[in-house]
Structure 1
């Protein structure tokens, strides 16, 4: 039984979920090769232990293992974490497993790939596995809204995040910049970067991994949906929104930053390389996930500089809010009831306030339970560790609009790689902004049409 510890009057989980994210609709589309085409019955990979596929490496993986060890100790339920190298690895292996019928009990799916997994028709809504008195009303609504489809909690939010701006306070001071006033707009980022480079403090001003999530953030912060049909939450989208000032301003700025040597390009999906560029002092600013707070703080200390973070920069000063990031726990359908009971116990344990506090402190992912947030505030955690609060404040201060809900589409991986590849051509100047955005729009439309037609 999960104890709330927060004095809430709990309504039933089903009634809460019916009013949280009920506007989300999902068109179930058959995905070739992803349903159990062999007709074999579903069976767990390991009959004697829960098998949990995940994508948490480094200190995040160590924190997760500690939680799983605690779960086993408290429940006497055996559970085995199996690292899949990346979210893409989890997705690929999960789709194969669902097809074969030999499945892990729980798998950690990037929010970007949620719809592709839902389209298999081979997953069990986690709502069905939770106790009737489980306090779903204690979850932060702007987190659960993404994972709630037609009033049903389809997957269990766990490691959720948004992108923020990290900056080297020591480098700012050396360049004559005020470390208490980090840049808030693209123009300010460019100006600060120019000063840092001109003063010879760093080789570049800014770095970040070329990943679609950051493009999604620029759109959402500016109040613009990346795709039509409300980013896929109101039906099947048909196009990418490139005929607007958001896209044009973003890519013109990105090209100018690269052309003037102010942006250090670590590569496509080069998360580690971007962080290394920042920690080794080659760039004074880094855009990356709040999940990196713990690692970046320790890395900055090892490299002898003071670090801080701030909200994600806006296009021109107007701010709507970030899209959600990170992942959630999915469960395959068709497992026997006793197995589902054990899985439900695992999900409830990982979502309880005590576990969320441990997870937050060990990683930087924001806590997703209101009770956990209140306990952290009462303990003075955020006051003593303000870098851990930045992404949480960015989340709670956001407007709840279609723009702040991440795209929910079947061909997410294809659209992702299309945007990332075309972004390189745009910021490198291989193609002009107007021509490149037109080509990007057409390429995304082709991927959407190919999947949904």
Structure 2
């Protein structure tokens, strides 16, 4: 794990007004929750909807160390905006779930405190999965508790593979393989397109990390405020050229920016034979492939049941370094009474206990963050009986921690994300050349980095 230099002094003496100035660097939508904080209860804000949200509510409210209230706040962007509003009002919730992409912006508010300060002396920090917790350690402190974390894997339709004359037990391992398999799927008529995935920065970050390539300077922002994006490299040129040619040759189906549901629908209805998606989608994808479609996005009549396969995320190179994590972590308020701090520490220990982590993993698809929980699942035969979950864990545990595999730690995360996604769209749609698009991307990202630094240090 690389040394971490100081990243917390950006806003010395920061006020709530400054925090809201940083919120302006984010953009985003209005929150779905009411944003109210009740001082008489332990407030827990999260961004989990559906069954995972209900499970989390039950886990939080089942904690007997305090009167706890768990509240859904909407999307990751919604909950971040709600948090900034709460900071301005002096009513930050006790615990709040924040997308890992926004870690630096939360640190820069100076409204939180390291969770390590609230955990008991006997809390087994060394049992936390290192490939997960490494990203959340800054200045030697565990600033937030990893909780609903995932990585990206490959899903494929084994029936379509057989129809296309491909080995259904051999998913693609590299981007070159993805093209070859996509050509076979389309040319055979097994599917209309080879592959799809949402146009989301996380997938770009994963390709960079697998190739051990930094996407930003200052070791992806972990040793200082980044100022440069590495978009003018041979690696970047080759990656986006591959993507553009896949689109031009009708091998990649473009579902749109952050179009998770559209990509998943295309895969389950047989429009494409391969999709890239989160490990947290294992359960819904498996049930969908079996014909049990949950939600209003897909008509069950459009789904022909098929055998699902999973594989490691395809690498741009023959060598694989590792994948970046996704998902979110739990942050705690820096302004609490001693009694509330003790209650919050107890809640975090409760949620990350072995039993709770096993229940969370099996009920949500996110992987447990405790090695002991993983060992117990293995000894119980869980992964043997559920091999698609094993795909995610094997990939995670085989990942090496380097500066490139630590997800970018950057203040204007949302604007950097949108810039990369929007300019990628311009590239593979043919609106600009690869070189021109990457140059635009580099300039726009660096402008956002400079703007954020200027606001943060005003």
> TM-score under structure 1 normalisation?
0.90
1:403 correspondence with 2:387: no
Give the corresponding residue for 2:24.
none
Whole-Å Cα distance in 2 between the matches of residues 23 and 35 of structure 1? 24
Give the corresponding residue for 2:52.
60
CA change 1:62–1:428 in 2 (3 A) is same
**Mapping of residues 351-366 of structure 1, within 5 Å:** 351-366=352-367
Whole-Å Cα distance in 1 between the matches of residues 428 and 81 of structure 2? 30
Write out per-residue CA displacement over residues 141-188 of structure 1, whole angstroms, 9 at most, x where no aligned residue: 221111111111110111111111111111111211111000011111
1:178 correspondence with 2:167: yes
Give the corresponding residue for 2:70.
81
**SS of residue matched to 2:195:** strand
Give the corresponding residue for 2:17.
33
**SS of residue matched to 2:276:** strand
Whole-Å Cα distance in 2 between the matches of residues 273 and 79 of structure 1? 36
**SS of residue matched to 1:329:** strand
Give the corresponding residue for 1:145.
134
Aligned residue pair count: 426
Give the corresponding residue for 2:338.
337
Give the corresponding residue for 2:38.
46
1:317 correspondence with 2:318: yes
Whole-Å Cα distance in 2 between the matches of residues 199 and 179 of structure 1? 15
Alignment check: 8 A CA contact 2:65 2:343 kept = no
**SS of residue matched to 1:159:** strand
Write out per-residue CA displacement over residues 239-275 of structure 1, whole angstroms, 9 at most, x where no aligned residue: 1101223211111111111111111111111112211
**Mapping of residues 118-267 of structure 1, within 5 Å:** 118-267=107-256
CA change 1:237–1:36 in 2 (3 A) is closer
**SS of residue matched to 1:358:** helix
Give the corresponding residue for 1:11.
none
Give the corresponding residue for 2:453.
452
Deviation at 1:24, TM superposition (A): 5.0
Residue segments in structure 2 that go unaligned for 5+ positions in a row? 22-34, 292-302
Residue segments in structure 1 that go unaligned for 5+ positions in a row? 1-19, 38-42
CA change 1:326–1:204 in 2 (3 A) is same
Higher alpha-carbon deviation: 159-168 or 238-247: 238-247
Deviation at 1:383, TM superposition (A): 1.0
> TM-score under structure 2 normalisation?
0.89
Match of 1:113 among 102, 109, 115: 102
**SS of residue matched to 1:267:** coil
Deviation at 1:365, TM superposition (A): 1.4
Whole-Å Cα distance in 2 between the matches of residues 29 and 279 of structure 1? 46
**SS of residue matched to 1:45:** coil
Deviation at 1:21, TM superposition (A): 6.5
**Mapping of residues 261-340 of structure 1, within 5 Å:** 261-302=250-291, 303=303, 304-340=305-341
Whole-Å Cα distance in 2 between the matches of residues 128 and 206 of structure 1? 45
Whole-Å Cα distance in 2 between the matches of residues 66 and 290 of structure 1? 22
Higher alpha-carbon deviation: 137-146 or 225-234: 137-146
Alignment check: 8 A CA contact 1:209 1:269 kept = yes
Deviation at 1:76, TM superposition (A): 5.6
Alignment check: 8 A CA contact 2:20 2:85 kept = no
Alignment check: 8 A CA contact 1:162 1:322 kept = yes
Deviation at 1:48, TM superposition (A): 2.8
**SS of residue matched to 1:425:** helix
Deviation at 1:128, TM superposition (A): 1.3
Whole-Å Cα distance in 2 between the matches of residues 160 and 398 of structure 1? 15
Whole-Å Cα distance in 2 between the matches of residues 330 and 102 of structure 1? 14
